[in-house]
């Protein structure tokens, strides 16, 4: 078989497999596009089985997936994270902060955008130093507040995205005040300082550049992320198998 024939055979096998499966979307995926109160219609599934594992439309994850497997197979191109981590490294920040920069937006890239700082913090909490997950959680709020002492201004991008009238909601304001009074404030603040959208197009950063830092600071579970029974294992499993019926 030549390359084209192999590609065609693979496509054929995939479409046959999809014909045998019922794959449904979770309510959260479509809420807004449809009224989540409307009754869910379950396809009849006559002669088919409901998907209970890997979605054949996605790249298959290894049995014991690592953090980098998630970066490569489930997260959108992570340039923003790589560039932020690189900047933190260039600025001479310690490894905890470099790791926090590398992980801070995985909520957006691979899970749920709303409240992304909280989701990302929860995902990584069992595997990192508490200061790292704390900084990731609070970058969500601190991004909206300037701190001239470190040259952090309200992002121009936010004015563009949310309009000049936007003011953070009371829960964000509360989180900001909590963060300001905390001993780790500067860790989260330095995360926001290195959380930049102005990239250097001449620099390519590879995930592998951070292999050692991740190795020393992220407690990769031997069973693989999602299969270690940690408090966030189910969240990693959902990213791995996002369309499982149950
Ligand atoms: Fe963020
Ligand atoms: Fe970011």
The closest ligand to the CA of 138 turns out to be: 1
* Cα 109 to averaged position of ligand 1 atoms, centre (Å): 10
pTM for this structure? Answer: 0.94
- DSSP class of residue 60 equals P
Closest among 19, 35, 17 to 27, alpha carbons compared: 35
Output the DSSP codes for 126-181. Answer: GGS-HHHHHHHHHHHHHTTS-BGGGTB---HHHHHHH-TT----HHHHHHHHHHHT
From first CA to last CA, the distance across the chain in angstroms is 38
Condensed to tens digits (0 to 9), the pLDDT of residues 171-227 reads: 999 999 999 999 999 999 999 999 987 677 788 899 999 999 999 999 999 999 999
CB 217 within 8 A of CB 128: yes
- DSSP class of residue 61 equals P
Condensed to tens digits (0 to 9), the pLDDT of residues 133-183 reads: 999 999 999 999 999 999 999 999 999 999 999 999 999 999 999 999 999
Q: CA angle at residue 54 from 5 to 57, to 5 degrees?
A: 40
Hey, how many other C-beta atoms are within 10 angstroms of the C-beta on 76? 13
pLDDT of residue 223: 98
* Cα 219 to averaged position of ligand 1 atoms, centre (Å): 22
The closest ligand to the CA of 140 turns out to be: 1
* Cα 18 to averaged position of ligand 2 atoms, centre (Å): 36
Output the DSSP codes for 24-59. Answer: ---HHHHBTTB-TTSPPPPP--TT-EE--S--TTSP
Q: Using 50, 70 and 90 to split pLDDT, how confident is the model at 127? A: very high
Query: Would the CA dihedral through 163, 153, 167, 170 be positive or negative?
Result: positive
């Amino acid at each position: 078989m030549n390359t084209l024939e192999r590609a065609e055979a693979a496509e054929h096998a995939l479409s046959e497999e999809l014909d045998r499966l019922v794959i449904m979307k979770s309510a959260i995926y479509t809420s807004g596009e449809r009224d989540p109160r409307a009754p869910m219609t379950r396809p009849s599934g006559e002669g088919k089985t409901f998907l209970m594992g890997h979605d054949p439309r996605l790249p298959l994850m290894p049995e014991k997936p690592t953090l980098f497997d998630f970066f490569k197979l489930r997260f959108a191109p992570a340039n923003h994270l790589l560039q932020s981590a690189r900047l933190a490294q260039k600025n001479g920040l310690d490894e905890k902060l470099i790791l926090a920069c590398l992980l801070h937006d995985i909520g957006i890239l691979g899970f749920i955008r709303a409240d992304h700082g909280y989701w990302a913090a929860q995902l990584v909490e069992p595997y990192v130093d508490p200061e790292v997950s704390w900084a990731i959680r609070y970058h969500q709020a601190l991004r909206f507040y300037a701190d001239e002492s470190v040259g952090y201004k309200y992002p121009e991008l936010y004015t563009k995205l949310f309009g000049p009238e936007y003011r953070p909601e009371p829960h964000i304001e509360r989180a900001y005040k909590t963060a300001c009074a905390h001993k780790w404030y500067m860790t989260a603040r330095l995360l926001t300082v290195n959380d930049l959208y102005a990239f250097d197009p001449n620099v390519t950063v590879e995930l592998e550049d951070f292999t050692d830092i991740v190795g020393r600071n992220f407690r990769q579970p031997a069973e693989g992320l999602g299969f270690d029974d940690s408090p966030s294992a189910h969240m990693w499993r959902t990213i791995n198998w996002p369309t499982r019926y149950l």
